[in-house]
Amino acid sequence: MRILCLLTLLAVSARAELKLPAVIGDNMVLQQKQANPLWGWDAPGTEVTVTFAGQTKTAKADDKGKWTVKLDAVPANAQPAVITIKGSSTRELKNVLVGEVWICSGQSNMGFNLNSTWDADLDIAQAKDAQLRLISVPQVGTQEIQDDFKGQWEECNPTTAASFTAVGYHFGRVLREMLGVPVGLIDNAWGGSACEAWVKRDVLEKDPRFASIIERWKQQEATFTKEAFEKQVADHKAKLDAWNKARVEAAKAKQMFTAPAPRAPQNPMTGQHRPGNLYAGVLHPTIGYGIKGVIWYQGESNAGRAKEYRDLFPFMIEHWRKEWKQGDFPFYWVQLADYKNYQTEPVESDWAELREAQTLTMSKLKHTGQCVITDLGEANDIHPKNKRDVAERLARWALVQDYGQKLVYRSPELKDAKFDGGKATLTFDYAPQGLRTVDTDDVKGFAVCGEDKKWVWAKASIIGGSKKGTNQIEVSADGVAKPVAVRYAWADNPVCNVYSAEGLPVTPFRTDDFPMITDPANPNNPAAQAAKRTEDLKKVMEAKKANEARKKAKAAK
């Protein structure tokens, strides 16, 4: 028996090999001026030695084989260096730089690649910067914690940049040009992802504020079957075959064919909406890697639950910060763009409420900020193609807040509203050179209401005119003798045109606290109305079944 155990140990030892996660490899960028963890796996008990920049760190693999060292802080270095790691075997990580590292996260507007943007041909042709490094995390949705992913750091060139996040690329490009140090970007965005999917499942379950999310998913998990999903896949294949056949026949007949391809079903258990799925499958493999901060573009998938997002979004940010153990690192996001049809009259808007939830997060958490892009969207496309301006507005936040640059970086925000004499006087912060309009001298985008809470478009003017450098706007409306509230850019796709003199759009706002359309307690909530319709239909069907049962019982007698 002892001989068998010895042989087993020898076999394990023979197979033992030093392994590193994908995020730690050739071409990587280490975050400057802070201690950086490096980790990997080896045979339990193996001593691992890491040598870099004149320092040597050692660690011993634990009973599960994982080891971790923490490198001392070093300044930025654009000269390629080598990290040597010795354990059961030896690895040399080559072409390593030291500079600034940022996570690029969110849903499809962050994942939107450079190849699909306006001026893509010009941007891609210019993407030749060996000191800008890129790595992408594959889309893996799972409840099981993942420690690694398939990917690798690469130098930025026209080929690697083309398929990379456009917002991330342009953000990194600006930092490179302004700071003159290497920049590393980690892209883990997943189109259509919900905010709750980015939070560890058990952490979400412990907070009663999110009980409805968990309950909804538990019901879906309980009713999901592999067989039913496979049938959906088979049905989709049949529809796709029919679509392809129709497309070919139309081509033969030289007829236009515009029918969209049938959308493939998605397994909700492995998708990007299930709570915890993206934390476990996408985020966790990178947690702990030395970073400067995060840029984020998400919210579309949570717009119908904007009131909930007021708590969920800052909760997610705090959760990430706790997991990373790097303190309150910077977290900057993109506010939702203008999208969908224009509204001819002032109406309620879930997208406006989501934007408000994003704005409120800045007052809840330090080292956060948002760029406003109500002027960069496209009415008929949820994926606006101008990502350069989006990224540059994000970069302003980082350049000022984290790198000490002297720039205008924050969109004007409402500071105060006073109602008197049939008008409202609004004062704005973050407009040091005053306010101005764009496209027309007329001020667009304001609505007011009286005590009846009926909103009407308002007349507005910059006090003193847009050339006087003032930060106040006067608002009134015919027929509203005593306004009690004002809203600006409060719509899915608002028509609004007020900017700071430096060119940043005014942040959408409302002065009222009327019930939110996305509040489940609001009877006008679309989700609540849909649930009520479903419940009413269920009662009708149950009553119908009961009536049929009574008829059968009566007939049987």
Which CATH fold would you assign to the domain 413-510?
A: Immunoglobulin-like (2.60.40)
Q: Where are the alpha helices (DSSP H) in 33-139?
A: 108-111, 120-126
DSSP 460: E
Give the sign of the dihedral formed by CA 237, CA 238, CA 241, CA 243.
Answer: negative
- pLDDT of 12: 43
- Cα distance between residue 438 and residue 504, in whole Å: 11
Encoded tokens for 273: 């909406």
Please say whether the beta carbons of 41 and 19 come within 8 A: yes
pLDDT in tens, the chain (557 residues): 445 444 444 344 445 799 999 999 999 999 999 999 999 999 999 999 999 999 999 999 999 999 999 999 999 999 999 999 999 999 999 999 999 999 999 999 999 999 999 999 999 999 999 999 999 999 999 999 999 999 999 999 999 999 999 999 999 999 999 999 999 999 999 999 999 999 999 999 999 999 999 999 999 999 999 999 999 999 999 999 999 999 999 999 999 988 999 999 999 999 999 999 999 999 999 999 999 999 999 999 999 999 999 999 999 999 999 999 999 999 999 999 999 999 899 999 999 999 999 999 999 999 999 999 999 999 999 999 999 999 999 999 999 999 999 999 999 999 999 999 899 999 999 999 999 999 999 999 999 999 999 999 999 999 987 667 799 999 999 999 999 999 999 999 999 999 999 999 999 999 999 999 999 999 888 766 665 555 555 666 676 777 777 777 777 76
Contacts of 307 (CB under 8 A, 6+ apart): 353, 357, 516, 518, 519, 520
- Cα distance between residue 248 and residue 257, in whole Å: 9
Q: CA torsion 429→433→439→444, rounded to 10°?
A: 30
Please say whether the beta carbons of 97 and 133 come within 8 A: yes
- Cα distance between residue 449 and residue 367, in whole Å: 35
Contacts of 4 (CB under 8 A, 6+ apart): none
The amino acid present at 298, given as its one-letter code, is Q
Helix (H, G, I), strand (E, B) or coil at 547: helix
Encoded tokens for 530: 């849909």
